Chain A
Amino acid sequence: MARPTPRPTGRSEWLTDRALRAYAVLAYLFLFVPILVVVIFSFNAGRHAAELIGFSTRWYEAAWSNVFVIKALGNSLTIAATTAVLATLLGTSSALAMSSMTGRLRRLFEQLTYVAIIVPGIVIGIAALLFLVTAFGWLNPWLAFGLGSGSPKLGLGAHSVVVTHTLFTMAIVNVIVRTRLRGMDRSLIEASGDLYATPWRTFRQITFPQILPAVVAGGLLAFTFSFDDFIVAFFTAGQDQTLPIYLFASIRRGVTPEANAIATVLLAITISAMLIGGLLVRRGRARPVVAAEEGEVPQATDLAEGVA
């Protein structure tokens, strides 16, 4: 709902108003121009910024014919998709359970959820690395003992990235689904119960259709966070390079136009997943159900926290 803009009266107020608006425009330019620069220069035929020659897709061709890039892209997509599925299942089931209970257990899970979101990625990555290496060190001799010397050895890899990514993305899914559950129309559930529907039937016919947009949006967010993550994967990926890890290693050796192409591909994948998610949430809100309007903005804030 748009409130009426306070009408500036005096000259100095008019000036302040103009200055503030001009500042906002500059701030938005500041936020978006750098990313646009990367995208634009990924299509530049020249080698660097001072060499703006013309349109070309040569850097995309270079990236596409690089086996390491393709392998890293494959790893990233597999990890992100698996994480999204796991995070959606775990986050949604815990959200459903939490919304139907009160008391100590619920508070404990609320706290665990917040801890999983606010502990910085670098600490999660390092703790997971130490834990997994220690656990594998214990388990491998037992495996060898049980299965003979030919038994597989446990080690870091794509799977360790998946379990760690699932940890904080399921917390994000949980927050989103719980926000949606809070805004849901309870009378429908009660009516369904009064009409002797079993709890499972009530869930399938009433609850699930209402939370579905939030579930899908949470899953897509989990996908993008996993797909974009560098720092957690950096510590837990072992030999399985992801695309952000490849990009990091390559730009540390020196900025190449190929990196712009890879960055643009990463952006394109993230933004499409995000747009689909945004549209679904919007559609969910447009229904005649009172949405948790209040939870909307802070939610964006703690989601953001997960990235950092």
Chain B
Amino acid sequence: MAVAARRPGARWLLLPSGLWYLVFLIAPLVVLAIISFGERSPNGGYEPAVTLEQYASLATRFTPFTNTIGLAFAGTVMCLLAGYPLAYVLATRAGSWKTVLMALIVIPLWTSFLIRTYAWMFILGSNGVPKVLETLFGIDVQLLNTPFAVLLGIVYNYLPLMALPIYVSLERMDRSLLEASRDLGAGPLASFRQITLPLSAPGVISGCLLVFIPVMGEYLIPVLLGGGKTYFLGNALSDLFLQSRHWPFGAALATAFVLFMLAVVALYAWVAKRLTDQGRESSLL
């Protein structure tokens, strides 16, 4: 860039934020990793040691996390099923309303996650919809504290994160391909399957990642909507640090989570590069 040569002193501007990253991002992650190799002291907390014990017990105590992966997977699939048609309508039929409709998808993301989850707690709770159903029809249902409520909470909170990247990839699609397909006699369904769907694949993949990773670390949704019965990594971590105070095991779990996440993102970057062949900055960010 043209200005680069003229402002060699500009790099000093990086010093404050560089220090911030060093002290409040890198150092904490390093401390986390160090603690994960330690042992739990008898009254909780951390005792220095160099052992892989925590990581080993990660494997033996794997059962609760299959639950996490299962629900996170189901939640991601439901977000995809709900988000794809929405993104499709936005990209193909929104017309001059596009800007407004896009803004309406983004706005919920900027409002408090806690409140969005609380809203469903209020609606599904015993004084909400079930009470109304009971008064009107005499039906007695339990909605809150069920896996259904957890899935609903996931779809509600993460739908925009799924719809946005899919919308972006559909929007970038070359429309003339569809016309060509139609001219060659393909029906709308065949055109959709053979052109639209493959071309929106990068958006689908980033959407799934943007949903799957944070859902695995979810804390609020299972606590407020699942009654703490459905165990996610977020709940496990919070229990390990705040209740049972098994710091090293919690640290090992958190470290494994971060590593898993980085691996998935790296894999994604690789796949996206192959899919788009443009090689530009990955469209995840």
Contacts and interface: CB of A to CB of B under 8 A. Distances in A.
The answer on A and B forming one complex is yes
Given A307-B110, A307-B113, A2 B95 contact: yes
B217 interface: yes
B65 to A, nearest CB: 15
Interface in A268-288: 270-271, 274, 278
Interface in B105-155: 105-116, 118-123, 125, 127-129, 131-132, 135
Interface in A48-66: 48-50
Interface stretch (A67-75, A111-119, A150-158, A208-216): A111-119
A185 B101 CA distance: 29
A305 B21 contact: no
Contacts of B88: 20
Contacts of B4: 100-102
A77 interface: no
Interface string A223-253: 0100010110011000000001001100110
Interface string B153-169: 00011111100110110
Nearest to B235: A122
B122 A271 contact: no
Contact of A23 (B14, B85, B160): B85
A259 B35 CA distance: 38
Which of A20, A24, A308 gathers the greatest number of chain B CB atoms within 10 Å?
A308
A34 B119 CA distance: 6
Contacts of B93: 5, 17, 20-21, 24
Contact of B108 (A17, A35, A109): A35
A144 interface: no
A270 B251 contact: no
B91 to A, nearest CB: 9
A45 to B, nearest CB: 15
A49 B131 contact: yes
A93 B11 CA distance: 10
A232 B279 CA distance: 35
Given A119-B261, A189-B3, A31 B128 contact: no
Interface in A11-49: 13, 16-17, 20-21, 23-24, 27-28, 30-32, 34-35, 37-38, 41, 47-49
Interface residues of A, number: 103
A155 to B, nearest CB: 16
Which of A32, A118, A193 gathers the greatest number of chain B CB atoms within 10 Å?
A118
B193 interface: no
A210 to B, nearest CB: 13
A131 B113 contact: no
Given A5-B95, A123-B217, A235-B241, A304 B31 contact: no
B64 interface: no
Interface string A170-189: 10001100000000001001
Interface in B61-98: 82, 85-86, 88-90, 92-93, 95-96, 98
Given A34-B123, A266-B112, A308-B161, A126 B32 contact: yes
Contacts of B171: 297
SS class, residues of chain A in contact with chain B: helix
B184 interface: no
B27 interface: yes
Nearest to B30: A131
Contacts of A244: 112, 114
Interface string B198-214: 00000000100010011
B175 interface: yes
A96 interface: yes
Nearest to A41: B122
SS class, residues of chain B in contact with chain A: helix
Contacts of B272: none
Contacts of B86: 23-24, 27
B115 A307 contact: no
B102 A297 contact: yes
Contacts of B247: 130
Interface of B: 1-4, 6-7, 10-14, 16-18, 20-21, 24-25, 27-29, 31-32, 35, 82, 85-86, 88-90, 92-93, 95-96, 98, 101-116, 118-123, 125, 127-129, 131-132, 135, 156-161, 164-165, 167-168, 171, 175, 178, 188, 206, 210, 213-214, 217, 219-220, 223-224, 233-234, 237-238, 241-242, 247, 250-251, 254, 257-258, 261, 265, 283-285
Interface of A: 2-3, 5-6, 13, 16-17, 20-21, 23-24, 27-28, 30-32, 34-35, 37-38, 41, 47-50, 89-91, 93-94, 96-102, 105, 109, 112, 114-124, 126-132, 134, 163-164, 166-167, 170, 174-175, 186, 189-190, 193, 199, 221, 224, 228, 230-231, 234-235, 244, 247-248, 251-252, 255, 259-260, 263, 266-267, 270-271, 274, 278, 297-298, 300-305, 307-308
Given A90-B17, A199-B6, A263-B119, 11 more contacts: A38-B118, A49-B122, A89-B16, A97-B12, A118-B213, A120-B261, A126-B237, A164-B24, A248-B220, A266-B115, A297-B167
Q: Which 10 A-B pairs have the closest CB atoms?
A: A48-B127, A127-B28, A131-B28, A97-B13, A34-B119, A308-B214, A228-B112, A120-B217, A94-B17, A304-B109
